[in-house]
Structure 1
Amino acid sequence: MFAAAKLVEGTGVFAAAQDLEEWEHVEVLARPVPMPTLVIAASGRSRDRAPSPR
């Protein structure tokens, strides 16, 4: 959430923080394909569940 807030403050571009599990089941299916997406995941099990860079 802090990183999303800093993106909005620094660039004026919309950014939102989202729980990885919720994003995987909802937002990933509804977002426009060319929409930039930044996933920040800690090492361990959360990193295993994060999407791979394309």
Structure 2
Amino acid sequence: MSQDLLRLDLLVPALMYCALLWWVGRGLSWTAKLATAVVTLVLIVVVVMAERGWR
């Protein structure tokens, strides 16, 4: 397995995001939870790609 997949600087924020989404989304419908998760994950991917130089 690649070292990049085991880096804590990527794993910890992802786990924190999941916990925060669960806590905030308790009152949301499943479609709203799914939409929030998708939008946030797309933003995370864009930020990571920008930091790495769009490679």
On whether the aligned pair clears a TM of 0.5, the verdict is: no
Structure 2 length-normalised TM: 0.30
Structure 1 length-normalised TM: 0.30
Task: Specify the structure having the higher radius of gyration (Cα).
Answer: 2
